[in-house]
Structure 1
Amino acid sequence: MATKTEQRRADLRDRLIASAERTITTEGLHALKARALAQDAGCAVGAIYTVFDDLDQLVLTVNARTFRRLGQFVQDRTAMDGTPQDRLVSMGTAYLHFAATNQPGWRALFDLSMTADSPVPDWYLAELGALFAKIADPLRDLFPDWSDARIDLMTRALFSSVHGMVLLGLERRISAVPMDHIERMIAVLLRNVTSE
């Protein structure tokens, strides 16, 4: 059974995560500031660092939750009765829709700047790995003779390609891809690349 101190610390951790998640998912990562976070969570600024080493750790915690939501969103919208290519296309389309409807939180997944020597926690890598595993499954069905290393490389290549199209489409700048074309572009890419 947790002591009162451990319980208070766990409660503070939950409040900080909830507050950070609200800020990041509505206003974006740039809006997360220690002073406002502490005020919203009802604690002193210094108390944040009794629970998290730094704000990056807190953001990683929020991002892991976003990865989990993204993975569930993709899974819920993936047609499992179609061909492996159909599944990849529905995953890519789901990724687009998640990004479009959750832009601040989705962008925070890629906007966190950490130094090269900053360790990435195993639990965070596991959340990312779970997302990549969803992409790898239909690739294994399409290419049963491929090695795990080759499947992993293709998984990352497809994710990066779809992510790039989605990002450009959501940027809405001069080089932006019109939103109404992105779904078709995702389908063309995924079907052509996996038709070897």
Structure 2
Amino acid sequence: MAGKVEARRAALREKLIELAEAQIVAGGLSSLKARQLAQDAGCALGAIYTVFDDMTALVLAVNGRTFQALGQAVRASFEGAEGLAPNDRLIVMSNAYLSFAAEHTHLWRALFDVEMSTDHNVPDWYMSALGGLFALISQPLSQIFPEMEAEELSLMTRALFSSVHGIVLLGLENRISGVPRDQIEVMIAQVLSHIR
């Protein structure tokens, strides 16, 4: 009997993740509503909280899938281009990041819009997914700066990610401090090609 209960919980969990992802794709993170989700899933509102502690936990599950897709897109961008100079690999990866953000804007925004900080208990799998993305950036950076200690390289990786993320975010949102969409790749290349 316990096996059937667990199977139903697992099925409901997967269904809720898929429905939440669809709601976020359609209208962004702010469009995710528990009542609508329960109605779409054909379950009671309280059933959501038998599978997830809260809505943030559900968003994190969706974000986990988004991180996987983002990581695959970034890795695919430099497959077959391993011979590129480290700066050029960073540019290629950053352009893949931009493309993913432009094509999946609501899911990408949900990665950063969810209410979470390092002060809270962030799931290990979530930090691992983020770490996987940072590892892709660290590899060419370690070639550019072979003398850097691990801690300094980690800080440089986060600084570079934050820089590219900011350029992409401001550009895609058409902020006056950003650049037009068709100039984002140029700005990324200008920044990354001068890292020495």
TM-score normalised over the length of structure 1:
0.94
How do residues 22-37 of structure 1 correspond to structure 2 at under 5 angstroms? Answer: 22-37=22-37
Q: Deviations over 1:143-181 (max 9, x none)?
A: 222111111011000000000110110111333311111
Cα distance between partner residues in 1 of 2:154 and 2:96 = 21
Structure-2 residue corresponding to 1:55:
55
- Counterpart pick for 1:143 among 142, 145, 156: 145
Cα distance between partner residues in 2 of 1:111 and 1:150 = 27
Between the two proteins, the alignment pairs up a number of residues equal to 194
RMSD of aligned alpha carbons:
1.5
Residue 21 of structure 1 and its aligned partner are, at CA, apart by: 0.9
Cα distance between partner residues in 1 of 2:192 and 2:48 = 44
Structure-2 residue corresponding to 1:132:
134
Higher mean C-alpha displacement, 79-88 vs 153-162? 79-88
Cα distance between partner residues in 2 of 1:173 and 1:143 = 33
- Cα 1:38/1:172, change in 2 over 3 Å: same
Structure-2 residue corresponding to 1:170:
172
Cα distance between partner residues in 2 of 1:115 and 1:86 = 32
One-letter code aligned to 2:100: F
Matched, 1:19 2:14: no
Cα distance between partner residues in 2 of 1:20 and 1:84 = 38
Higher mean C-alpha displacement, 18-27 vs 53-62? 18-27
Cα distance between partner residues in 1 of 2:183 and 2:41 = 42
One-letter code aligned to 2:110: A
Give 5+ residue unaligned stretches, structure 2: none
Asked if the contact 1:26/1:105 (under 8 Å) is kept, the reply is no
Structure-2 residue corresponding to 1:90:
92
The runs of 4+ residues in structure 1 deviating greater than 6 Å are none
Q: Deviations over 1:117-152 (max 9, x none)?
A: 431111100000000000001111222221111110
Structure-1 residue corresponding to 2:39:
39
